[in-house]
Structure 1
Amino acid sequence: MQNEKGHVERSVEYVRRKAFAPKDSFASAIEAQEWLDSILKKLNATKQQGTGKSAGELLTEEKKVLVKHPSSVMICSEQIQLRADKYATVSYQGNRYSVPDNLVGLFVDVSVRSRQMHIYSQNKRVAIHHRSYKSHDWVIDIEHYLDTFKKKPGALVGSQALAGNHYLRNLYFNLFQNESREFIELLSYCRDHMVSEEKLEESVKRLLSTCGNHATLEKLRALLGNKSFVAPTVETKDNITLKAKEQLSWITELMHQTNDNGQYKQSNNRI
């Protein structure tokens, strides 16, 4: 076990030196990850001593004789249990991640991964967040607080949940500033019907292009639900239409009035 641990540590140190000795300053964690991915790709394409093949090629050959793992996807993660506090968040390494507000005071299972936090309650996934490496950061999903906002709509304006989402914050102050309840209902509709923020943004733009600033909850819901207006059909009652219907009726009746030789029987109907 110690030998395996030492081998892993040496491998990690090797990759660390190859990746971050030449460059150790990045604008963001995403940029650092992209740099690491490019170095790993280059290392895996390098020919290995004594084989004349790259690590990637050797792995491809080895996969052919490996037994299939029972899990469809292998995930490297840390499994922990955390309690949701009064703010409906769980705390990990000084940062807070939101959970649905009905879980306040309860323990949840958290799968801590390098880039994401997956949160479960009673074996059901209730939240996915990007993992923050900042200090004292709040990673909040406004959907987790909609039931609370329905009861206390006045709490929406000053909430971290609204402040943390720039698009929704601007949408609220531009179109729904005096209609908090309608805004909360709109977000609830999007949550219940799995409407993405991208589709909401697109629908708002379409509505504003035709209605100006008169965007309402009902119009948005109709647009998001793809409910097109169908005008009721109006039957024309002019003489031409009536005569045409009489002709069609007579022809239909005539077609059914044939004898056994396929000849038409006489009919008293007239056009």
Structure 2
Amino acid sequence: MSIPRQRGLTEQAATAAIDHACRMLRLPTIRSQFPELAETAGREQMSYLGFLSELLLAECDDRARRRSERRIKAAGFPRDKSLRKFDFDANPNIDAAMVHTLAKCEWIKKGLPLCLIGDSGTGKSHLLIALGTEAAMAGYRVKYVLATKLVNELVEAADEKQLTKTIARYGRVDLLCIDELGYMELDRRGAELLFQVLTEREEKNSVAIASNESFSGWTKTFTDPRLCAAIVDRLTFGGNIIETGTDSYRLATTRARAEQQLATS
């Protein structure tokens, strides 16, 4: 359906025509914002080009925001975590400058790995999710998964003869975030399947992991020494390692809150 073009439209008719055109062209932001932007343009005596640029930039900005939201949702993060909400003062082991440099995503562009190593409650999962969110906002395809869930999925895929397809799916994302690596012992089959995923991504797409075990303790998870060494090599070669320490931030916060309640009671 074409839109008849007429000169001398009334303001009401012009508004209806713009609304109809925006629906046809799928410009929801311009459709919702043009009355306010038109009023601002008239008040500030903007040129026609200036007004048009404001409309188009508003649409572009909103589309970029919606794309970011879709990528963040597709990543499957279990909760919302951001760098802005991370308390670097509470954990002096973490170099804030290094983390903010990582947030620029150059390491993902180069396909390098990232390892976050530390005890429970030291902020490694928060940083993993926050950096993954930054990557999604920057336009990268991101997937978050627990190590146990990933291995179980790979085992099921192998049993159903869907392993190649599953590994390829995990291989396509720009950043694979594997959380809670080291919380369980993997049998040789599970470890080998995980190794296949890491090999598929090696020097092509980035992997970021969070683990409560230092590398020396990974033999508890990967009981085959050679396989363990190969996995450590895949996850560290040319990459970044952040050690979040052993002092639980969550535990310290809980104790401080309890002490404050006792003091005020």
- TM norm structure 2: 0.25
Q: Which has the higher helix share?
A: 2
- TM norm structure 1: 0.24
- Of structures 1 and 2, the larger Rg is shown by 1
